[in-house]
């Protein structure tokens, strides 16, 4: 029996061992889902603290409870930093970050470093799946040549697919198993093997013709959101100049039963996907002589929004005879969207950084993020400030950056001297509230 036939048999019989590379907001939920359906999972990560926590039954992601971790451990899940154990897995799923570098160019170093660490321990009869969002062609142009250099030929003695992650942290209606899974394979046999594997854990599979089509699908999804959010953010700026409440306008427009989809403005884009993914396509498009002006314009608008918020803070303080310099400012909400603990690319952090650069005294309050997390580009030695009447009254300005449902908005309005609301959470004509 050939290596791929053996792999197909192991997948069909539920014997395939799955290795998940990168145990963050994408990799860990996927690992737990595979474990939930009885699949043996080995989780790989370079962060020793994460490995230790998981193997001791602890979680570092708020929505993934210790109970879920314990259940996975009981099913044989284990975390490791030993990449030599790659040989033990039948399916290798890469879920590592794909950030932008300092020049806003795609940074595939996490993918490349992971693959290079895996390759010495890979063998015939394994399936490699890339889930990290990237530019169309990455699977075929970056991963496939590295496999071939080791004698692993997709469709002959190994399988290679791209299946983009579609996690939506904080969404109560769609978990890992509920979100349809797009997948493209290097060959029809690769696609069949990848689909067979994921079908054990995901309810609906969406096969497409190639890895490039799957890669482009993920970019289209996120660019669609980025462009529409850019539009509504620009509309917010125009409406503000005209003295119109953009949130009232959006609510009214949303009553149209066709042809309109409401998007909410805010202080900027956050999360690992929407602020970053459009630039992966614009970078690759230049190779084909295409200038993606529409996408880049939306990116410029969204990138500007934290600066817009800081300008509104400065104007609001100035109207009260105060300067930003020396003011005590409390930022409410550090996560990039409400009711989660994910701070990746959060505009709230950039707002904090811009205000601190203007020599304001900055604190934050977020019930989901008790300690300011480690970040590549920002560092604040801060812990979340408790939100109470005494705390609120001590600040010159409170910036509502993320509208967690757990915040007491009545308390906020009663005791804050000045509120700059970037989310439209506080409606009405309160004298201490400024929309931003």
Whether residue 295 sits in one domain with residue 196: no
For residues 35 and 155, membership in a common domain is answered with yes
Kindly state the tokens that stand for 143. Answer: 């991963």
Q: Is residue 300 part of a domain?
A: yes
Give the confidence band of 1 by pLDDT, cuts at 50, 70, 90.
Answer: low
Packing angle of the helix pair 211-241, 246-253 (nearest 10 deg): 120
Residue 83 CB neighbours (<10 A):
18
pTM, 2 dp:
0.93
Average pLDDT over residues 107-136: 97
Torsion of CA 66, 68, 72, 75, to 10 degrees: 120
**pLDDT of amino acid 168:** 84
Domain boundary residue among 148, 180, 209? 209
CA-CA distance, 114 to 132, in Å (whole number)?
12
Q: Are residues 193 and 282 in the same domain?
A: no
**Torsion angle (degrees, nearest 10) of CA 296, 297, 298, 300:** 90
Does the structure show a pLDDT above 60 at 281? yes
For residue 304, being part of any structural domain is answered with yes
C-alpha 152/C-alpha 146 separation (Å) is 9
Domain range for 288 is 246-435
Q: Could you give the residue ranges of the DSSP H alpha helices within 66-154?
A: 66-74, 109-118, 138, 144-149
For residue 220, the model assigns a pLDDT of: 96
Residue 19 pLDDT grade (very low, low, confident, very high; cuts 50, 70, 90)? very high
Q: Which of 95, 158, 190, 273 is catalytic?
A: 273
Structural domain includes residue 122 = yes
Active site residue 273: yes
- Residues 259, 346 within the same domain: yes
Q: Cα(236)–Cα(402) distance, rounded to whole angstroms?
A: 17
Question: Residue 234: inside a domain, yes or no?
Answer: no
Count of positions (residues) in the chain: 436
pLDDT digit string (tens) for 199-226?
999 999 999 999 999 999 999 999 999 9
Say whether both 181 and 267 belong to one domain: no
272 and 336 co-located in one domain: yes
Mean pLDDT of 377-391: 93
Per the structure, the count of domains in the chain is 2
Residue 23: CA count within 13 A, CB half-sphere = 28
- Rounded Cα distance between 191 and 54, Å, is 32
Instruction: Identify the CATH number of the domain in which residue 115 sits.
Output: 3.40.50.720
> Domain boundary residue among 186, 209, 232?
209
Q: How confident is the model at residue 128 (pLDDT cuts 50, 70, 90)?
A: very high
The residue from 181, 209, 237 where one domain ends is 209
Could you tell me if residue 258 is inside a domain? yes
Same domain for 161 and 251, yes or no, is: no
Closest CA to 118 of 150, 142, 78: 150
Instruction: State residue 423's pLDDT score.
Output: 96
Domain identity same for 193 and 271: no
Asked if the structure places residue 239 within a domain, the reply is no
- Measured CA to CA in angstroms, residue 213 lies from 64, 101, 107, 313, 392 at distances of 31, 25, 21, 44, 51
Paired residues of 184 in beta bridges: 162, 208
Answer yes or no: are the C-beta atoms of 76 and 16 closer than 8 Å: no
Q: Both 190 and 255 in a single domain? A: no
pLDDT at 375: 85
Would you say residue 193 has pLDDT above 60? yes
Residues 107 and 191 grouped into a single domain: yes
Tell me whether residue 220 is in a domain. no
pLDDT score recorded for residue 277? 87
Residue 140 domain-assigned (yes or no): yes
Same domain, 151 and 265: no
Q: Are residues 28 and 149 in the same domain?
A: yes
Q: DSSP secondary structure string, 372-407? A: PPP-SS-----BPPP-SHHHHHT-SEEEE-S--TTS
């Amino acid at each position: 029996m050939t290596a791929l036939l053996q792999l197909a048999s192991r997948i069909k019989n539920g014997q395939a061992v799955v290795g998940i590379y990168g145990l963050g907001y994408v990799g860990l939920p996927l690992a737990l889902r595979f474990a939930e359906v009885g699949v043996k999972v080995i989780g790989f990560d370079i962060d020793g603290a994460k490995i230790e926590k998981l193997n001791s039954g602890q979680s570092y992601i708020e929505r993934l409870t210790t109970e879920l971790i314990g259940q996975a451990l009981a099913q044989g899940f284990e975390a490791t930093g030993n990449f030599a154990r790659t040989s033990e897995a039948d399916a290798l799923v890469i879920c590592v970050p794909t950030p932008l570098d300092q020049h806003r160019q795609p940074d595939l170093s996490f993918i490349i470093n992971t693959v290079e660490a895996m390759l010495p321990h890979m063998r015939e009869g394994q399936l490699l799946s890339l889930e990290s969002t990237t530019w169309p062609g990455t699977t075929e142009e970056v991963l496939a040549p590295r496999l071939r250099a080791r004698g692993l030929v997709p469709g002959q003695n190994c399988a290679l697919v791209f299946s983009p992650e579609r996690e939506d942290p904080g969404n109560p209606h769609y978990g890992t198993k509920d979100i349809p899974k797009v997948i493209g394979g290097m060959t029809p046999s690769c696609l069949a093997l990848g689909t067979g594997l994921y079908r054990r854990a995901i309810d609906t599979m969406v096969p497409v013709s190639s890895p490039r089509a799957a890669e482009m699908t993920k970019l289209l999804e996120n660019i669609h959101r980025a462009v529409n959010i850019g539009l509504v953010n620009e509309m917010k700026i125009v409406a503000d100049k005209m003295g119109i409440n953009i949130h009232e306008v959006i609510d009214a427009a949303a009553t149209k039963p066709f042809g309109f989809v409401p998007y909410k403005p805010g202080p900027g884009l956050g999360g690992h996907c929407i602020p970053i993914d459009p630039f992966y396509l614009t970078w690759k498009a230049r190779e084909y002589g295409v200038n993606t002006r529409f996408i880049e314009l939306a990116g410029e608008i969204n990138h500007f929004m934290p600066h817009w918020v800081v300008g509104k803070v400065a104007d609001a303080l100035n109207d009260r005879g105060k300067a930003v310099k020396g003011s005590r400012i409390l930022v409410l909400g550090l996560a990039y969207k409400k009711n989660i603990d994910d701070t990746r690319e959060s505009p709230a952090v950039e707002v904090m950084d811009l205000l601190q650069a203007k020599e304001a005294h900055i604190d934050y309050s977020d019930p989901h993020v008790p300690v300011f997390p480690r970040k590549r580009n920002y560092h604040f030695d801060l812990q979340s400030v408790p939100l109470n009447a005494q705390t609120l009254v001590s600040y010159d300005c409170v910036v509502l950056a993320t509208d967690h449902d757990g915040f007491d908005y009545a308390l906020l309005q009663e005791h804050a001297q000045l509120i700059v609301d970037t989310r439209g959470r506080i409606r009405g004509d309160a004298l201490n509230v400024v929309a931003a």
